[in-house]
Amino acid sequence: MKLIAAADAKWGIGLKNELLVRIPQDQQYFRQETTGHVVVMGRKTLESFPNQKPLPNRVNIVMTRQKDYAPEGVTVVHDIDELKNVLKQYDPEDLYCIGGEQIYKLLLPLCDTALITRIDHVYEADAYLPDLDHDPEWKLTMRSEEQTYFSLIYYFLTYERISGGEKL
């Protein structure tokens, strides 16, 4: 499974259930990576999408503790075991964890690659990714050329798990 996210310089990813910043090239990268694949997210992430609708041209799987949660066009699971069971039917290369904070932390042990758009700025945030730069299980394996969006500088980074990790 791959984790995909945009994070600021302190690994912040969101504030009040919204992205910290919308960078068109990052959104294009996200679409390019996830279209035609399986995206796993939490309920709040789905509810942050326009009209609270699932992402088009993807299998949308939502994890929630709410037993009666049943939005149209998504597969709903209620715990990690149920999720693992559902994910068995898919190629692990087709799986993307797309957030939010609790889902990233829960599924990070199942991920072997992290695709991070790293923004060289610190925002006010209330949701964070784990710091992969200081996690001995992860290694930075690719860093793009410097990208800019107006005055923002950012990079597309790839981290690979070098040890441990759970299997689906």
Q: Supply the pLDDT for residue 38.
A: 98
Q: Supply the pLDDT for residue 165.
A: 67
For residue 135, tell me if it sits in a domain: yes
- The 8-class DSSP code of residue 108 comes to G
Q: Which amino acid is residue 2, in one-letter code?
A: K
Contact 26, 117 (CB under 8 A): yes
Helix, strand and coil in the chain, % to nearest 5: 25, 35, 40
- Residue 168 pLDDT > 90: no
Residue pLDDT, tens place only, 61-120: 999 999 999 999 999 999 999 999 999 999 999 999 999 999 999 999 999 999 999 999
Give the SS3 label for residue 125: coil
Using a pLDDT cut of 90, give the percent of the chain over it.
Answer: 96
Q: What is the total count of domains within the chain?
A: 1
Q: State the CATH number of the domain containing residue 88.
A: 3.40.430.10
Residue pLDDT, tens place only, 26-48: 999 999 999 999 999 999 999 99
For residue 102, tell me if it sits in a domain: yes
For residue 37, tell me if it sits in a domain: yes
What the block records as the tokens of 125 is: 């945030």
* Domain that residue 136 falls in: 2-161
Residue 81's alpha-carbon distances to 6, 12, 74, 160, 167, in angstroms, are 27, 28, 18, 24, 12
For residue 167, tell me if it sits in a domain: no
Q: How far apart, in whole angstroms, are the C-alpha atoms of residue 134 and residue 108?
A: 14
38 sits in which H/E element? strand 38-42
